[in-house]
Structures are given as C-alpha cells and as structure tokens.
Amino acid sequence: MTTAQVGVVIVGAGPAGLVLGNLLLDRGIDCVILERRDRAAVEGRARAGFLAPRAVRILTGNGLAAGLLARGQTHTACLFRSDRGEFTLDYGKLGPGEPHTVYPQQELVRDLIDAYLRRGGRIRFGVEAEEITDGRVRVRGGTDVTGRYVAGCDGHRGIGRATLTAHGTRTARWDHGVSWLAVLAAAPPSLPATGYALHERGFAGHMARTASVTRYYLQCPRGTDPADWSEDRIWTELATRMRTAEFGPLREGAVLEKARVDLRSDVLESLGTGRLWLAGDAAGLISPSAAKGANLAVVQAESLARALAEALAHGDEAPLARHAGACLPRIWHAHEFSQWMSTLLHGPDGDDDTARYGRALQYARLESLRTLRSHQDFFAENYTGI
C-alpha cells in the first residue's frame, strides 16, 4: 500500500477539522482532511446554529466569517415559560453584554469547505480511516496517509478517540437520563427569541434557525422511535407544552427532519499524546442543552492549530501540552454550565417525595433567574461564554 505524507492529517470534516485545516494552511502547514461521508452529506447535515462571541471572533479574525456576518442573525434574549407565566431574559444587556449569532451549522460547514479549498487544501470525501498508528492513518481500500501529527476531529465515535482510549486514556461520563425529539420544521419562528418551556409533560424548546426554518425540541422517553411521532402529534404536543392557549399559537409548517437525541456528556482526561491530538466531540461530547458543542470545537481548533504550528517549528511537544492545559479547564467549565442548564430545563418524573422535591428546586432556580440580577449575570456570562 502506498502512503502519502503531509504535515498534519485531519480525520473528520466537521467544524473542528475544517477550522483546524484552514488555520494550518494559513500557517503554511501542509495538511489533508479525511472524511468518511460524501460532500453532500457533510454539507447537508442540519445541526446546531448558536455561535458564541468568542467563536465568531475567531472565525472573523481568520477570514472565515463572510457568510455568518452576511446572513447570521443576532440574538440577545431568550424567554422561559411555565405554569407560572413567561419572562424574557435580555442577556445581551447582562453580564458581559454579548449576543449570539444564529447561523445554521450546515451553512458554516459549507463556508469552511469552500474557504479550505480556496486556500489550496485537500479533502478526501468518502474515505474511512480504519487505524491510526504512530502518525500513519490506514484508509480502507485507499491510499494511507502519514503525518508528523494526526488530528482526530471525527466525533465521539471516531477512530481518533478510539485510538487514544485504546492506549489507556480514560473517559469521564455522565448520562443526563433525558432524551429529546429534535424536530426541524419549515416554519417561521413563532417567538421573538429562543424559547424554553417547562411543563409537567416535559421540556419543549423553540430555536429559530432562519426566517423560514425553526428547530423545536420535545423531551421524550429514552428509546422513543421518531417514526411514532406524526406531524399532528408533534404540533399538538408542542402547542401543549408551549402553552399556546395562554400565549398564542405556533406558526406551523412541514416537518423536514426528526430524530431522537439522548443527552449524554463525556470528557477525555487527555486531549492527546505523541503524534495524535483530538478536538471537538472527539475530545469531549457535551449535551446540547446549552449549545456549546460547535463553539468548543472552534475554540479548540484555533488553540490546536497554534500548538501544532509551534510543535512542528520547534520539534517538541511542549506547545501541545500547553494547549491541553489551557483547553481542558475550558471544556469542563462549559460542561458545568451545560449540567446546570439541564437541571433547570428537566424536572424529575414521578410523584413521590423525591420527585416533588426535585421539581420544586427546578422552579426555585427558574424564579431566581427571573428575579435576581446576580443569577441573571451568571446566566448571561456562561450562556454566551466559552
């Protein structure tokens, strides 16, 4: 089997791998991205759309933000609903006073691919990496690639993480015990802001994506089959949990996509070693309850690009160790807020004493967020921060 050689082999063409590839090319480092899916699948997969200010600054500062600056929407508020009413939290005027930029992730991915190819980068789509050994990536049925370093940006089920854990790197895990039915609808936003609804039947969420597409979430039992949820059932349940009888109807439309998301989180104790380093979901999977996944991927990719450039220039791993030392606390900080957000949105099931106590605490948190400026500033700083 012939082998191609490059400076850095990047496995995975998600936000982490694509940002990393663009930044490495800008630093004059030869790299290639290997992606198991075809280009249409990569560019068409609808995912998160909330970009925090730091991620936007990184993308803007590196010439990767033309699309999101032209078409992204600035969001500065979110609202909460429950049987105790509704309130809006204008987080853009709290804490550090910063907004989100809402820009569908699939559009960002398309932008990043176009930018990478314009820079002269190479992506091999439809290529499955089977094994990583001492900088060599063995490719199923194709040409292997060897790099001075390998960046595993291929998600929590990818070969990058599997290789690192097979060599003894441990993982800290948490199952939130919660699942969502994630619904993408061809419907204009129904609320003026991102909406979080607490209901005895479970959480419901409303997240605008574009002027004509809205993401909804419905808490559902673990193991739920999305095929069991018809459009009528989805809109009926959303109306119930979003309390449309009290606050007004939702703007309905065709359901474009529905899937179950099980809320789980994990973090590897190390971001890499030797010639293999991870970024994005490969390094740590975070629940979507606080919209941190894509933002962590961008921030980690920038840090890893800088560290790899220094390591290649100086021939030692000290820059990579510094990168890991800076990034791991940041990852855990995001996980802590995601956990806090999850307990705010999801109350325990049942009617025993423990469940009633848990739900009472849930509503006490919500009331503190409604009334206490210190809690509002905490929320704003962590909601928009990385």
**What is the chain's alpha carbon radius of gyration, rounded to the nearest angstrom?**
21
Q: State pTM to two decimals.
A: 0.95
| Ramachandran area for residue 223 (φ above 0: left; ψ -120 to 50: alpha; else beta) | left
Q: pLDDT-based confidence at 4, cuts 50/70/90?
A: low
Give residue 3's pLDDT. Answer: 62
Q: To the nearest whole percent, how much of the chain has pLDDT over 90?
A: 93
Cβ neighbours of residue 321 under 8 Å, at least 6 residues apart? Answer: none
Mean pLDDT of 129-142: 94
Cβ neighbours of residue 337 under 8 Å, at least 6 residues apart? Answer: 290, 292, 382, 383
Active site residues per annotation: 75, 196, 288, 292, 383
Q: Could you report the per-residue pLDDT of 251-293, keeping only the tens digit for each?
A: 999 999 999 999 999 999 999 999 999 999 999 999 999 999 9
Q: 184 forms bridges with which residues in the sheet?
A: 215, 257
How long a stretch of residues is the chain?
386
Q: To the nearest whole percent, how much of the chain has pLDDT over 70?
A: 99
Q: Could you report the per-residue pLDDT of 196-224, keeping only the tens digit for each?
A: 999 999 999 999 988 999 999 999 999 99
Domains of the chain (ranges; CATH) run: 3-49+105-170+269-340 (3.50.50.60)
Residue 305: alpha-carbon gap to chain centroid: 19
Give residue 1's pLDDT. Answer: 44
Mean pLDDT of 116-137: 96
